[in-house]
Amino acid sequence: MRTLKKLGTAVVLAIGFAYAVPAIVHAETTVAITKHHYVYYPDHEIYFAPETKTYYWRSGERWESGVTLPEADRGYVTTGGVELDIDADRPYEKHEWVLKHYKDRHDRD
């Protein structure tokens, strides 16, 4: 009787593995790409992330960020801008792509 019970348990486990192994072997990995929304002001290379209320701007050859722009740049972001969705946490990481696709856009368009 004990042997029959062990055999039954083994059969149940074998059936369970028979269904589980193909699912494990054929599992696919899905990578979600997160897009972030920005407003880009092409004439002055300024980005604004509305969700985080963060500005990104060039200072010489470097990019800087903050919740406020330098006073000299504040007048450039009152109107216009291009709405973008970019798959980068910092928009300047994709700046070359943005330039390629939006080079003919201007803040006044």
d(CA 80, CA 106): 8
Is residue 22, in this structure, part of any structural domain at all? no
Query: Cβ distance 55 to 69 under 8 Å?
Result: yes
- Do the domain assignments include residue 84? yes
Query: How far apart (Å, rounded) are the C-alpha atoms in residues 40 and 108?
Result: 12
Write out the residue range of the structural domain in which residue 72 sits: 36-102
Taking 60 as the threshold, does the pLDDT of residue 30 lie above it? Answer: yes
What is the structure's pLDDT at 9? Answer: 64
Q: Measure CA 77 to chain center.
A: 24
Amino acid at 11: V
Residue 82 forms part of a structural domain: yes
pLDDT digits (tens, 9 = 90+) for 32-85: 678 999 999 998 999 999 999 999 999 999 999 999 999 999 999 988 899 999
Structural domain count of the chain: 1
SS3 call for 58:
strand
- Write down the pTM of the prediction: 0.66
